[in-house]
Amino acid sequence: MKFLRTLTILAFAVSVSTGVVLAEEKKSEAPKYSPGSCCDKAAKDGKTCEHPCCVAAAKDSKVCKKCNKPGKKCE
Ligand SMILES: [Zn+2]
Ligand SMILES: [Zn+2]
């Protein structure tokens, strides 16, 4: 039964390393602002957008969809 035990250890090691990779991917995921949006401009200045809708979205670790619509530019 040595083979089965090795297999179990291998499966465990794979699941652990996969979990680490997933965690790292999640960590590196930065908020995606639409180019030229109020949030994008604020981020480039090293600030966070002060629009109430954007602040509310940021609290939930999200990006304001109202101001960051894909392909739409905020004036
Ligand atoms: Zn904004
Ligand atoms: Zn907004």
Taking the C-alpha atoms of residue 61 and residue 55, their distance in angstroms, rounded to an integer, is 10
Q: How many CA atoms lie within 13 A of 15 on its CB side?
A: 6
pLDDT tens-digit series, residues 56-73: 999 999 999 999 986 544
Amino acid, res. 71 = G
pLDDT tens-digit series, residues 18-46: 777 666 665 545 668 988 999 999 999 99
What is the pTM (predicted TM-score) of this model? 0.53
As residues whose CB is below 5 A from the ion ligand 1, the structure lists 38-39, 49, 51, 54, 67
Ligand 2: centre distance to CA 47 (Å): 14
The pLDDT of residue 50: 96
Cβ neighbourhood burial of 41 (10 Å; 0-12, 13-18, 19+): middle
